């Protein structure tokens, strides 16, 4: 029997995306025989509302010295994290003496750099040592370890308790969330604030953006599930702030129980989630049917383009694209190669589907007829940048929120 990672109630997968490799496991041809696969199957817990993966590969298989994702590759995301840091300053740190900020999964320092620039005490916790090195090189205090309650105790012993604990696109990656929540409770001052954001379940279900489901995203959160999961560790959800990033995210604000007032946004968001059917099996049966329809329509479109010998490439070798290519059965005969600006991915093959990843310069040098927009969550930034591609007749193939050529 499988049990919920949060409350231990029995859970069952409501669908399977099949055999899936490590989403950021870009590889060379000689590594193909040893490529690792697991079954990507999501479930939701009727007792506490947590949407989760039944199976997640060991963290060391996903987050290591060759971790392929650097946060600062997007200009829009850089601006987003500057605004996030400003909000923390305004809402939490402004009137405090010598405040201390901790960020979990601080990546290359995209957010902490703003606290450093203000001369504030800060600490990043980033297990992927390659991205942590980038942060350290620019003077951002960073330790390369996995966060848990033991590390929380060590941080408190060395630096004292934190005024703010932050994270972005990290919390939903941590299978042992109870230990992390317990660690945060110990790390936070009695009047401290925890603020984190992650892809939002309501958006994922509404847009059929099933590509948010991959090995690293062991949870897809909602206001209901966050409130229940952290409530078990004395942390209360006091506000929710919807974000447009990553195709629809939610920023959750939590604090030690009864230390702060609770915004009416919290009850309103939970009511919306019930209205959307996120608390019952029918909601997920519909999501499953929508995923299957999306896959059928995408493959019909790609097969049609292949039949007329159109030149199709992928745009953005995202982690999300690993779910799409492997679930749908996309091969290099459909998508010849994928353009990506991240050097560590270039020259490698995409996980599972083995589609070559090439530098962005190749895209500009020889525009394809169609670009499958794997990085659809950055569409605004990309479309702005690729006006010349569109002007020469290049077309985009979208699959979120529906399959269409634009």
Query: Which stretches of the chain bind ligand DWN, using CB under 6 A?
Result: 69, 73-74, 169, 216, 246, 316-320, 339-342, 360, 375, 377-378, 381-382, 385
Sort residue 221 into left (φ over 0), alpha (ψ -120 to 50) or beta.
beta
Query: Residue 131 Cβ, how far from ligand DWN at the closest point, in Å?
Result: 11
Nearer to ligand DWN, 89 or 341 (CB): 341
Cβ–Cβ under 8 Å, residues 355 and 315: no
Residue at shortest CB range from ligand DWN: 316
User: Judged by CB, which is closer to ligand DWN: 192, or 351?
Assistant: 351
Please say which residue, 23 or 266, places its beta carbon nearer to ligand DWN.
23
The Cα 220–Cα 200 span in angstroms is 6
Alpha helices in 190-232 (DSSP H): 201-207, 223-231
SS (H, E, C) 129-189: HHHHHHHHHCCCCEECCCCCHHHHHHHHHHHCCEEEEEEECCHHHCCCHHHHHHHHHHHEE
Q: Which is nearer to ligand DWN, 15 or 317 (CB)?
A: 317
Pick between residue 114 and residue 320 the one whose CB is nearest to ligand DWN.
320
CA–CA dist 144, 146 (Å, integer):
7
Instruction: Measure the CA–CA gap between 38 and 254, rounded to whole angstroms.
Output: 34
Q: How far is the CB of 342 from ligand DWN (least distance, A)?
A: 4
Find the length of the chain.
Answer: 406
Q: Which is nearer to ligand DWN, 50 or 238 (CB)?
A: 50
State in angstroms the smallest separation of the CB of 305 from ligand DWN.
Answer: 21
What is the smallest separation between the CB atom of 55 and ligand DWN, expressed in angstroms? 17
- Tell the smallest beta-carbon distance from residue 17 to ligand DWN (Å): 15
CB of 249 to ligand DWN, least distance (A): 9
Answer for the pair 62, 22: CB distance below 8 angstroms, yes or no. yes
Instruction: Report the C-alpha gap between 349 and 340 in whole angstroms.
Output: 12
């Amino acid at each position: 029997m499988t049990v919920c990672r949060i409350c231990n109630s029995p859970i069952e997968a409501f669908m399977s995306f099949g055999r899936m490799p490590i989403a950021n496991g870009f590889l060379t041809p000689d590594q193909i025989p040893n490529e690792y696969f697991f079954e990507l199957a999501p479930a939701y817990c009727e007792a506490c509302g947590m949407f989760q993966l039944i199976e997640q590969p060991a963290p060391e298989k996903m987050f290591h010295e060759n971790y392929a994702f650097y946060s600062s590759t997007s200009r829009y995301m850089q601006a987003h994290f500057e605004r996030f840091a400003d909000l923390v300053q305004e809402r939490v740190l402004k009137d405090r003496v010598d405040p201390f900020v901790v960020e979990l999964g601080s990546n290359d320092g995209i957010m902490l750099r703003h606290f450093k620039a203000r001369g504030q005490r800060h600490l990043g916790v980033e297990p992927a040592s390659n991205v942590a090195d980038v942060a350290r090189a620019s003077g951002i205090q960073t330790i390369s370890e996995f966060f848990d309650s033991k590390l929380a105790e060590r941080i408190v012993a060395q630096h004292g308790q934190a005024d703010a604990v932050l994270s972005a696109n990290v919390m939903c990656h941590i299978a042992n969330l109870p230990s992390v929540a317990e660690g945060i409770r110990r790390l936070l001052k009695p009047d401290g604030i925890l603020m984190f954001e992650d892809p939002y379940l309501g958006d994922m279900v509404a847009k059929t953006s099933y590509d948010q489901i991959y090995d690293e995203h062991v949870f897809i959160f909602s206001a209901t599930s966050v409130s229940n999961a952290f409530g078990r560790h004395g942390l209360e959800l006091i506000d929710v702030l919807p974000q447009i990033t990553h195709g629809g995210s939610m920023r959750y604000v939590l604090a030690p129980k009864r230390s702060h007032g609770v915004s009416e946004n919290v009850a309103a968001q939970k009511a919306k989630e019930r209205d959307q059917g996120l608390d019952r099996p029918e909601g997920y049966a519909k999501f499953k049917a929508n995923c299957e329809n999306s896959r059928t329509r995408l493959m019909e479109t790609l097969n049609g383009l292949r039949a007329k010998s159109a030149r199709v490439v992928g745009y953005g070798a995202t982690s999300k694209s690993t779910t799409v290519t492997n679930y749908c059965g996309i091969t290099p005969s459909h998508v010849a190669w994928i353009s990506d600006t991240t050097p560590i991915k270039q020259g490698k093959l995409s996980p599972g589907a083995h589609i070559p990843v090439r530098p962005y310069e190749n895209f500009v040098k020889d525009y394809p007829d169609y670009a499958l927009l794997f990085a659809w969550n950055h569409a605004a930034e990309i479309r702005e940048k690729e006006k010349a591609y569109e002007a020469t007749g290049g077309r985009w193939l979208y699959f979120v929120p529906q399959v269409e050529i634009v």
